[in-house]
RNA sequence: GGACCCUUAGCUCAGCUGGUUAGAGCGCUACCUUGACAUGGUAGAGGUCAGAGAUUCGAAUUCUCUAGGGUCCACCA
């Protein structure tokens, strides 16, 4: 034992710092050597720009629980941490900073110079996010720390890209894409969120060429008419089909555009006439393809109108719309305007309205990969927990669209496509080339675009283990650790990330990147609302750790993480678990003065154990079983609550309380034995709970075990020799009896200090003997002095209150204190309640259909219950009769 | 428009393949500074498991419908 004083209130701050440093220094997070099976995880890399939020905390804590558990189970564990370069986010942070501090825009200094600034920024800030991760207590192997733009990931990206290019799966094309006018880049379909926006439906009149007839067109985007190249009607529409083949005069311009027939147009929608803008609408683009319509681009990259929309050139979309309406009104071509709710695409990152635009981009054809990825889940090579999430996964992968992978940014993996300036040959290359492979000319240019950040993320399980560099793969032991075991993440990135890792890994290695995917819920506030800046309801994990301690936060998140979709976080909960951590601390604090030689992990003489000792060991077995199962099933909630109950109720409230008289007695033998049990159970508790609350458990353990750190201990297993069902039964009788007597005392308004005399009656010899041994406990816990135990044949005392379990009756004599009438009522009420129960069971058994159909187990169970309530009823009835 | 999920104590939630006297934490009430812990102890109140119907010997649990809430996907001009 250390001599230092043990504080009354557990103080997490110093403890956390101390142990994290020790674990790191002693390489506890590094996979151990040997031939044990491997277990590996990859950390979803947080953005280098970010600050950790509760979602990160939950995600990482679940992983840490798994890795600590498996490590203690003897696996060769590896958890690989990483940080994401987050193309868009980082580039804009640095852009803003440069402008703010030096009034420099990126175009002023050029690409290379700008990237130097970004790298510098990254060097300065990456450690911040790592430090935040460390505060969560994560036991990942920092030697494996990977940044998504490190040279190995870059090699991985280039190799994957070049292979796909050479297979013809990556291609360049002029297609309609989502254009983010703020970022001035293309983004993928997955990065567009539709949001409901209040808009208007404008009805515009078009003149038909060479006729007095007009067509009315309804649109939400009148300003795009400058890019229109047709009017479409449904050929089946009798109102308009006659016009197909004629031309309409496009208002505000001098152009005439064909009126075409296309099945896509719906009869009931709008006016039944559709303006077709192939350059700025996904559907119109398709219609345009079918009818070989020309494409007119009317927007600049920043979202203002260009010369093709001369009347509104230079205006942004909002202004352009207003101006267009004014012009139409002047010409009396605007028939009417209606309010309308519509879904409009917004950029995930920038939140600005996405403009569909036709542009030259790189695409990846994912059909085959997606197919493989679907099959891998269908045949359970990879399993989702909870299973339901595979639907989300399938829905994305079963209708794959080509992935737009190029981004008009500077920060990211530059596309490894080169073009020769003399022969125009285009090729993809894993290394920076020195000459054109076609004509050997040394003048060539690299495609300026970078790849979607998710393209490198898709390779994360491979690149973090060194792929494709053979040397590094060996050094990182790719062989052992790939495929990884479990991916832990949120459902919001099932298709962004999970699906894409599956696709790339299957395509490269023919193996799944991980065998399980555990999807946890989204952390929300107490009322179930998303945490957001605008609502101001965010809970910062680091502040919370500062306030309550890391273990309390970890336990709270673990207790909330199961198979649910949301985790509503209430600070009151964290406080509650802070108290629980303190409870554990105080259990240790109570024991510590009694502990001398605590390094023993043995019970010297199992046969000499008494019933309560056997009971706690039996209960220990139960909790070991339950916690292990729950963690393996990703039911961290079940694991936490099993531990909570065992520690709080079984260990602290009963076992420690029952141990007090022995520890304060002079019976050295009994004391020694009891301490062995107390210590063994406490040590197992610490081992069991360590994955969830690593700090407090390690701290306490350091007082109990001199040589070994808890993090490297072996996880408890169920011990066959601790199987004591009979003692469990006896102990439960005692617990029930004590509880009932306390209840009786409360109903009689007795003060805690008031002592009572009791007579027990039972025909169960075992229980009788046990109660006899527990005289002191009965005094301490129920305030009973002078108890006697006799058989049920004996005469019951008069003027007494009584309580009963199914085995034991207790009569409490309280001369003068008992109001006979009240007591009668109390007993009658109990009896009535039990009678109802009894009738229910009896009715079941009397029902012939029940006994015919129900399995024997169930029937026996009901019989047993009937028997219990009958026994109790008889006891209480006797007590009632005995009252007067 | 499709798909999925939720509705159990005042609050936040467990309740697995149908058989419990329907549970936990917080909150609440009463009493307690008993030599680990007031970040504590003991006891208690509180639920016709959203509603209706069906299957069954038996439904919080399975099925159908209704009402309310949520999430994701979708190009409805």
Q: What is the pLDDT of residues A412-448, one digit of tens each?
A: 999 999 999 999 999 999 999 999 999 999 999 999 9
Q: Say if residue A536's pLDDT is above 80.
A: no
Rounded distance in angstroms from the CA atom of residue A238 to the C1' atom of nucleotide B2: 30
Q: Any idea what DSSP says for residue A353?
A: B
Strand, coil or helix: A227: helix
Distance CA A760, CA A809 (A): 6
**List of E strands, A480-618:** 484-490, 514-520, 522-525, 566-569
The answer on pLDDT for A499 being more than 80 is: yes
Q: Which residue is nearest to nucleotide B15 (CA to C1')?
A: A638
Alpha helices in A710-846 (DSSP H): 725-747, 765-773, 775-782, 820-846
Smallest CA-to-CA distance from A276 within A258, A300, A263 is with A258
B20 C1' to A839 CA distance, Å: 16
Q: Which residue is nearest to nucleotide B27 (CA to C1')?
A: A572
**Nucleotide nearest the Cα atom of A869 (by C1'):** B21
* Mean pLDDT in residue range A569-574: 86
Q: How far is the CA of A571 from the C1' of B43 (A)?
A: 27
pLDDT for A598 equals 58
What pLDDT does A871 receive?
A: 87
**Nucleotides of strand B under 7 angstroms from a protein beta carbon:** 3-5, 11-15, 19-21, 24-27, 30-32, 34-44, 56-58, 71-77
Mean per-residue pLDDT, A318-335: 90
Q: Is the pLDDT of residue A70 over 60?
A: yes
Q: Which residue is closest, via its CA, to the C1' of B6?
A: A565
Q: Which nucleotide does the CA of A281 lie closest to, via C1'?
A: B75
Question: For residue A42, what pLDDT is reported?
Answer: 96
Residue A64 confidence (pLDDT):
96
pLDDT tier for residue A654 given thresholds of 50, 70 and 90: very high
Q: For nucleotide B74, give the residue with the nearest CA to its C1'.
A: A194
CB-CB neighbours of A864 under 10 Å? 11
Separation of A192 CA and B29 C1' (Å): 54
Count of Cβ atoms closer than 10 Å to residue A881 Cβ: 10
Residue A2 has pLDDT above 50, yes or no: no
Distance CA A62, CA A563 (A): 12
Quote the pLDDT of residue A882. Answer: 79
CA angle A259, A263, A269 (to 5 degrees): 85
Question: How far is it between the farthest Cα atoms of chain A?
Answer: 118
Nucleotide nearest to A865 (CA to C1'): B21
Closest residue to B73 measured CA to C1′: A395
C1' (B58) to CA (A864) span, angstroms: 18
Q: Which residue is nearest to nucleotide B38 (CA to C1')?
A: A579
Average of pLDDT values for A642-668? 92
Which band of pLDDT confidence, cut at 50, 70 and 90, is reported for residue A691? very high
pLDDT at A456: 93
- Tokens at A589, concatenated: 């604090």
Which nt has its C1' nearest the CA of A271?
B77
CA A442 vs CA A275, A419, A445, A448: distances in Å: 49, 11, 10, 18
Through-space separation of residue A517 CA and nucleotide B8 C1' in angstroms: 30
Residue nearest to nucleotide B72 (CA to C1'): A392
In this prediction, residues A700-726 reach a mean pLDDT of 92
pLDDT per residue as tens digits for the range A604-618: 888 899 999 999 999
Of A235, A257, A28, A239, the C-alpha closest to A143 is: A28
Alpha-carbon distance of A311 to A227, in angstroms, equals 12
- Which of A600, A545, A736, A678 lies closest to A54, judged by CA? A545
Distance from CA(A542) to C1'(B9), angstroms, rounded:
33
Confidence category of residue A775, pLDDT binned at 50, 70, 90: confident
The CA–C1' separation of A538 and B33, in angstroms, is 38
Tokens of A785: 């002095």
Q: Quick one: pLDDT band at residue A150, thresholds 50, 70, 90?
A: very high
Å from the A635 CA to the B60 C1':
21
Q: What is the pLDDT of residue A599?
A: 60
CA of A286: nucleotide with nearest C1': B75
Mean pLDDT of chain A: 89
The CA–C1' separation of A644 and B23, in angstroms, is 15
Mean local confidence (pLDDT), A571-582: 91
With a cut of 60, say whether residue A1 has pLDDT above it: no
Please give the pLDDT value at position A534. 66
Query: 3-state class of A311 per DSSP?
Result: helix
CB under 8 Å to A307, separation ≥6 — which residues? Answer: A313
Task: Name the pLDDT band for A59 (thresholds 50, 70, 90).
Answer: very high
Q: Which nucleotide is nearest, taking the CA of residue A590 and each C1'?
A: B36
Sequence-distant (≥ 6) Cβ neighbours of residue A110 within 8 angstroms: none
Q: Protein A751 CA to nucleic acid B45 C1', in Å?
A: 21
Residue A711 (CA) to nucleotide B6 (C1'), in angstroms, measures 39
Q: Name the band, by pLDDT with cuts 50, 70 and 90, for residue A451.
A: very high
- B56 C1' – A856 CA distance, angstroms? 17
pLDDT above 70 for A28: yes
* Residue scoring higher pLDDT (A861 or A474): A474
pLDDT of residue A606: 87
- The confidence score (pLDDT) of residue A597 equals 63
By C-alpha distance, which of A79, A48, A83, A75 is closest to A62? A79
ipTM: 0.94
Which range scores top for mean pLDDT: A155-159, A250-254, A398-402, A518-522? A155-159
- Which residue, counting CA atoms, is nearest to the C1' of nucleotide B32? A752
Confidence of residue A816 (pLDDT cuts 50, 70, 90): low
The residue that leads in pLDDT, A168 or A51, is A168
Strand extents, DSSP E, A522-613: 522-525, 566-569
d(C-alpha A766, C-alpha A788), whole Å: 15
What are the C-alpha distances in Å from A437 to residues A160, A164, A168, A386, A426?
20, 19, 18, 51, 9
Closest C1' nucleotide to A847's CA = B57
d(CA A191, CA A345): 9
> Is the pLDDT score of A482 beyond 80?
yes
Nearest nt (C1') from A581 Cα? B39
Distance, CA of A186 to CA of A200 (rounded, Å): 27
A328: which 2 tokens? 């139409």
Which residues, 6 or more positions from A722, have their beta carbon under 8 angstroms from its beta carbon?
A614, A617, A618, A620, A621
Nearest residue by alpha-carbon distance to C1' of B5: A565
Question: In whole angstroms, how far apart are CA A589 and each of A7, A513, A585, A620, A704?
Answer: 8, 46, 6, 21, 11
Distance A534 CA to B1 C1' (A): 31
Q: What is the pLDDT of residue A628?
A: 94
Q: Is the pLDDT of residue A600 over 70?
A: no
| Tens-digit pLDDT profile for residues A194-248 | 888 888 889 999 989 888 888 999 999 999 999 999 999 988 888 888 888 899 9
- For A619-633, write each residue's pLDDT tens digit: 999 999 999 999 999
Nucleotide nearest to A389 (CA to C1'): B4
């Amino acid at each position: 034992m250390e001599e230092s004083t043990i504080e009354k209130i557990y103080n997490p701050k110093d403890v956390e710092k101390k142990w994290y440093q020790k674990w790191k220094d002693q390489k506890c997070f590094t996979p151990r050597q040997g031939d044990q099976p491997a277990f590996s995880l990859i950390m979803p890399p947080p953005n280098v720009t970010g600050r950790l939020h509760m979602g990160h905390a939950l995600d990482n804590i679940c992983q840490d629980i798994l890795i600590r558990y498996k490590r203690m189970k003897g696996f060769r564990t590896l958890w690989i941490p990483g940080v994401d370069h987050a193309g868009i986010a980082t580039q804009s942070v640095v852009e803003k900073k440069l402008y703010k501090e030096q009034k420099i825009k990126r175009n002023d200094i050029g690409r290379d110079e700008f990237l130097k600034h970004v790298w510098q920024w990254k060097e300065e800030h990456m450690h911040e996010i790592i430090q935040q991760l460390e505060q969560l207590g994560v036991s990942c192997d920092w030697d494996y720390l990977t940044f998504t733009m490190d040279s190995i990931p870059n090699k991985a990206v280039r190799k994957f890209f070049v292979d796909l290019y050479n297979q013809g799966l990556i291609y360049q094309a002029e297609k309609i894409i989502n254009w983010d006018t703020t970022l001035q880049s293309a983004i993928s379909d997955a990065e567009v969120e539709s949001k409901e926006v209040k808009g208007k439906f404008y009805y515009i009149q078009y003149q038909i060429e060479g006729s007095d007839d007009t067509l009315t067109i309804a649109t939400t985007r009148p300003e795009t008419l400058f890019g229109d190249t047709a009017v479409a009607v449904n050929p089946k529409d009798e109102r308009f089909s006659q016009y197909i083949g004629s031309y309409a005069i496009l208002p505000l311009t001098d152009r005439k555009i064909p009126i075409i027939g296309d099945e896509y147009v719906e009869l009931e929608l709008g006016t039944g006439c559709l303006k077709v803008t192939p350059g700025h609408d996904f559907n119109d683009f398709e219609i345009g393809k079918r009818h070989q319509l020309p494409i007119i681009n009317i927007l600049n990259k920043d979202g203002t109108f260009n010369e093709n929309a001369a009347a509104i050139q230079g205006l942004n979309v909002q202004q352009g719309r207003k101006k267009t309406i004014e012009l139409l009104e002047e010409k009396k071509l605007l028939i009417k305007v209606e309010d309308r709710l519509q879904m409009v695409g917004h950029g995930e990152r920038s939140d600005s309205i996405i403009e569909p635009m036709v542009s030259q981009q790189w695409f990846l054809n994912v059909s085959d990969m997606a197919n493989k990825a679907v099959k891998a889940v269908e045949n359970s090579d990879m399993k989702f927990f909870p299973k339901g999430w595979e639907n989300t996964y399938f829905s994305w992968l079963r209708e794959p669209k080509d992935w737009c992978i190029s981004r008009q940014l500077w920060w990211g993996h530059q596309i490894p496509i080169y073009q020769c300036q003399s022969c125009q040959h285009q090729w993809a290359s894993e290394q920076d080339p020195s000459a054109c492979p076609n004509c050997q000319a040394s003048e060539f240019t690299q495609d300026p675009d970078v790849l979607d950040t998710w393209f490198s993320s898709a390779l994360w399980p491979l690149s973090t283990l060194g792929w494709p560099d053979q040397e590094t793969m060996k050094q990182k032991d790719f062989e052992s650790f790939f495929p990884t075991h479990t991916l832990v993440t949120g459902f919001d990135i099932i298709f962004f990330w999970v699906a894409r890792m599956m696709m790339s890994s299957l395509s490269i290695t023919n193996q799944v990147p991980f065998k399980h995917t555990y999807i946890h819920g989204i952390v929300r506030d107490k009322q179930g609302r998303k945490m957001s800046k605008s609502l101001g309801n965010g809970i910062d994990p680091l502040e919370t750790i500062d306030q309550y301690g890391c273990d309390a936060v970890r336990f709270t998140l673990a207790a909330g993480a199961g198979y649910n979709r949301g985790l509503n976080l209430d600070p009151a909960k964290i406080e509650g678990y802070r108290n629980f951590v303190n409870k554990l601390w105080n259990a240790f604090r109570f024991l510590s003065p009694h502990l001398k030689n605590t390094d023993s992990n043995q019970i010297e003489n199992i046969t000499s154990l008494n019933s309560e000792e056997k009971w706690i060991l039996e209960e220990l077995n139960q909790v070991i079983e339950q916690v292990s199962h729950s963690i393996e099933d990703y039911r961290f909630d079940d694991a936490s609550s099993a531990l909570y109950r065992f520690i709080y109720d079984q260990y602290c409230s009963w076992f420690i309380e029952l141990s007090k008289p022995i520890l304060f007695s002079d019976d050295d033998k009994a004391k020694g034995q009891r301490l062995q049990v107390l210590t063994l159970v406490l040590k197992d508790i610490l081992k069991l709970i360590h994955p969830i609350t690593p700090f407090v458990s390690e701290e306490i353990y350091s007082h109990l075990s001199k040589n070994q750190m808890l993090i490297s201990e072996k996880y408890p297993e169920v011990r066959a020799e601790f199987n004591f069902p009979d003692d469990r039964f006896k102990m439960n009788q005692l617990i029930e009896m004590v509880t009932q007597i306390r209840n009786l005392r409360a109903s009689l308004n007795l003060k805690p200090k008031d002592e009572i005399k009791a007579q027990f009656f039972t025909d169960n010899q075992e229980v009788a003997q046990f109660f006899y041994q527990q005289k002191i406990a009965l005094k301490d816990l129920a305030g009973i002095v002078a108890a006697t135990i006799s058989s049920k044949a004996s005469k019951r005392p008069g003027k007494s209150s009584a309580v009963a379990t199914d085995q034991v009756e207790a009569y409490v004599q309280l001369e003068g204190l008992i109001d006979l009438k009240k007591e009668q009522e109390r007993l009658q009420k109990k009896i009535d309640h039990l009678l109802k129960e009894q009738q229910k069971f009896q009715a079941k058994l009397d029902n012939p259909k029940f006994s015919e159909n129900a399995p024997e187990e169930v029937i026996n169970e009901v019989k047993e219950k009937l028997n219990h309530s009958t026994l109790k009823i008889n006891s209480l009835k006797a007590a009632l009769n005995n009252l007067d």
